[in-house]
Amino acid sequence: MDRIITAKLLTRENFAEFGDVIDKGGDNHYPINGGKTERYHDLAKVDAAGPNARVLVSIGAGTPYKFPLKLSMVERHPFGSQAFIPLSPRPFLVVVCHDGEDGPETPHAFLTQPGQGVNYPRNLWHGVLTPIGKKQDFLIVDRGGDGSNLEEFHFSHPYEIHLPEAR
């Protein structure tokens, strides 16, 4: 099986089967504060389940990965969603998989558009936060609480993830 995957530009449409896109591209927005602010409303479903669950807001100071990326592991969070919102307008890599009978199916790789964030629903298989080219900070909104909220899957053979040519 071909283990080389080239990331495609992330859009609301092509990511819809996996999770939420956090940007100003949706149509659910309206003026607040007398029109001084436009609110882009309800962009992501935040989910925090299990014992003593609560929503966490954190900052991830990410270090870039080399490309092509060797993807040998994906993970998922059984008790909650996880959102990554970049604090600088640089694209980053998003890798997600549907769940199959024997674990994650073939990965799908996306290159976000500058400033775009994503939200992974509970139990969505995903690669870890993957900045590109330089250090990048991210706001992370995910679940805290008791119990193990991390499940990892190690592929028997790694995938090789490439970025699209024309960037």
Ligand X SMILES: NC(=O)N[C@@H](O)C(=O)O
Q: CB-wise, 69 or 129, nearer to ligand X?
A: 129
Q: Which of 167, 161, 159, 65 is nearest to 109 (CA)?
A: 161
Write phi, then psi, for 99 (nearest 5 degrees). -90, 135
Q: CB-wise, 23 or 75, nearer to ligand X?
A: 75
Q: CB-wise, 26 or 55, nearer to ligand X?
A: 55
Residues 87-146 that bind Ni ion (CB under 5 A): none
Segment lying near ligand X (by CB under 6 A), choices 9-17, 21-29, 86-94, 126-134: 126-134
Applying CB under 6 A, among 83, 95, 129, 141 the residue interacting with ligand X is 129
In the DSSP assignment, the letter for residue 123 is T
Q: By CB under 6 A, is residue 128 in contact with ligand X?
A: yes
Segment lying near ligand X (by CB under 6 A), choices 9-17, 88-96, 105-113, 122-130: 122-130
Q: By CB under 6 A, is residue 140 in contact with ligand X?
A: yes
Q: Which DSSP helix (H) or strand (E) runs through 96?
A: strand 92-97
**What is the end-to-end Cα distance of the chain in Å, rounded?**
27
Give which of Ni ion, ligand X, none residue 81 binds (C-beta under 5 to 8 Å, depending on kind): none
Residues 65-84 that bind Ni ion (CB under 5 A): 82
User: Cβ(95)–Cβ(15) under 8 Å?
Assistant: no
Q: By CB under 6 A, is residue 49 in contact with ligand X?
A: no
Mapping DSSP onto H, E and C, the string for 19-82 reads: CEEECCCCCCEEEEHHHCEEEECCCCCCCECCCCCEEEEEEEEECCECCCEEEEEEEECCCECE
Lookup result for tokens 């389940």: 49
Structural tokens at position 96: 């997600």
Segment lying near ligand X (by CB under 6 A), choices 25-33, 91-99, 125-133, 154-162: 125-133
Q: Which residue ranges make up the site for ligand X (CB under 6 A)?
A: 75, 82, 126, 128-129, 140
Q: Which residue ranges make up the site for Ni ion (CB under 5 A)?
A: 82
